[in-house]
Amino acid sequence: MEDVLELYQEPYDPAYPVVCFDESPYQLVSEVRTPIPAQSGQPARIDYEYKREGTCNLFLLFEAQRGWRHVDVTPQRTALDFAQQMRELVDVHYPKATLITVVLDNLNTHTPAALYEAFPPAEARRILYRLEFRYTPKHGSWLNMAEVEFAVIRGQCLDQRIATMATVRRKVAGWQARRNAAKATVNWRFTTDKAREKLHRLYPSQS
């Protein structure tokens, strides 16, 4: 835990960016009956019944110190998809960075082995040479700032019924552009000192 918290407190260095990574499923649903739009003195009305249209997945990259995020909407989230996200992180989003520190949880696909499964050994090694993985503790994924950003996207963009992955992509792209233009970030206040104070049960020597 302290390893991640101290990482968040380090001064900004564009050659050594800290990027939080996470993924989240999204349920696609369509309306069974056409909603009635709002009118003067009458709120919009949406029928409680809906139809399931499958699921998609959202991969999110978030660099809080720069106020930048990137979201990919994909059909699934396999180890191969994770490997592709890491290659794009290195080659597309941060081609000039010396080393990218990636904060992520302990999902079984979030491993260096995923890159060797997806790419030839030399290519996997080339990508991993530019990455350093920092894992949040088990049951401590809330330490990943990407989860905060997911809460924002759910509240500002995906708090509605969306039937197709294409529509999700369009809405997410607009949300992403607005957030990046505003350089919106997370005001992270949970420090190592606060962790030792509030989570003293994790520090037996302080009991």
R_g of the chain, CA atoms, integer Å: 20
Position 40 in a domain:
no
Tokens of 175: 């949300």
pLDDT at site 203 = 58
pTM of the model: 0.86
Position 101 in a domain:
yes
Q: CA 44: distance to chain centroid?
A: 32
Question: What region does 54 belong to: left with phi over 0, alpha with psi -120 to 50, or beta?
Answer: left
Number of domains in the chain: 1
Position 42 in a domain:
no
Q: What is the CATH number of the domain that holds 164?
A: 3.30.420.10
Measured between its terminal Cα atoms, the distance across the chain in Å is: 18
pLDDT at site 50 = 67
Distance CA 66, CA 24 (A): 22
pLDDT at site 195 = 64
Position 43 in a domain:
no
Position 6 in a domain:
yes
Position 37 in a domain:
no
Residue 30: strand pairing partners? 51
Position 35 in a domain:
no
Averaged in consecutive runs of 10 residues, what is the pLDDT profile of the chain (207 residues)? 83 96 92 70 69 91 96 95 97 97 94 97 98 90 91 92 93 96 89 67 59
DSSP track, 108-163: TT-SHHHHHHHS-HHHHHHHHTTEEEEEPPTT-GGGSHHHHHHHHHHHHTSSS---
Position 34 in a domain:
no
Distance CA 20, CA 144 (A): 6
Who contacts 162 (Cβ-Cβ below 8 Å, separation ≥6)?
A: 26, 28, 29, 168, 171
Enclosing domain of residue 182: 2-29+49-206
pLDDT at site 202 = 66
